[in-house]
Amino acid sequence: MMSDVLEELVQEMSTNGLFVPDTSITIQNVVGEGEFGVVYKALLHGWKENMHSLVAVKTLKGMFSCCDVKHLAEESQIMARFDHPNVMKLIGVSMNKYKHLFIVMPFMAKGSLLYHLKKNRHIFTIESEEITEMPEVTSSRLLSMCLQIAKGMEYLAHNKFVHRDLAARNCMIDLNNVIKVADFGLTEDTYARNYFRQTTEQEDGEPPVKLPVKWMALESLNDGIFSEKTDVWSFGVTCWEVFSLGKNPYPGVDPFSLIRYLERGERLDKPLNAACSQEIYNVMRECWEWKPWKRPSFSQLVTVISTSLEGMGWISGPQLSSSYHYKYSQLT
């Protein structure tokens, strides 16, 4: 029953100090919308020492079922366990007088990574490798985005979580350009298992979940198997999105033909943006190895990408070059 799900969640969140009275939330405007849910910008006030801050509030829209409420409740329970700078953290949950459930999260002022990449294509695009100054700055800037995602995913993998829906659209950017892996609607706790399978019907009789085909590994497409190594495959596609500045993967390839395309050994081509070096593309290719055990772990990816950035002389903070500040002060 829907009421049982909500009552159990409210009790759990209240015990953990994560239940937010609906009177402490003032909804402002819609900032995101999907097939089943909607995200609002809101003001959180009069809660926990009268804190006043902008937040994002996620809830279901339209006619929704008990299963939908259960999934949203599970998403909040998953998020409540996370504590990492590159993973979206739960502020709390709330419920209004109509028994509508709300997930309260930090407000990400710059929106999704996908939106950010598309909006700033004119800054990140390098037409020729012959231009010597900005390609390295641009390449390191884009690669640093990949590093933040890899660190967030390393944390999830260490805590035995499989995301299943890693993509640029599901990574959010705050006002300080910190990227946070988000949207845990498909996330599974695999602490007791090394992988799980998504069949045509879920174990509890619910309809199958829609999965993001163009970001999925071969074993996920063929057998419904998901693990850290399938998330690594998705990470490779996400890196391709970053260096392609938000282009759609596998242009011209029908989703229904993707399995045969990949089984022939085909993979995403090297992004045309000159900011993507062959070395960076090789890292992506390693993420798309046919055999999962041949793919790197997220810990290995963090090490490799960090080393690459150090080789580029990447630094953060006030020591950045004036050319960097000039170029990237234009980012919005």
List the binding residues.
Answer: 58, 169-170, 183
Task: Please count the other Cβ atoms lying within 10 Å of the Cβ belonging to residue 263.
Answer: 12
Separation CA 284–CA 146 (nearest Å): 11
Q: How far is CA 229 from the centre of its chain?
A: 16
Largest CA distance in the chain: 64
Q: Retrieve residue 38's tokens.
A: 């909607």
> Tokens standing for 317?
């903070």
Tokens 């999704």, located at residue: 112
First-last CA distance in the chain: 45
**Separation in Å, CA 252 to CA 119, 215, 236, 240:** 23, 15, 19, 16
* Exposure b/e, 76-97, CB count within 10 A at least 16 = b: bbbbbebebebbbebbbbbbee
Q: Which of 68, 83, 165, 223 is catalytic?
A: 165
Active site residue 165: yes
Q: Which residues are annotated as a binding site for ATP?
A: 58, 169
Binding site members for Mg(2+): 170, 183
Taken as a whole, the chain contains a residue count of 332
The type of residue at 291 is K
Show which residues are catalytic.
165
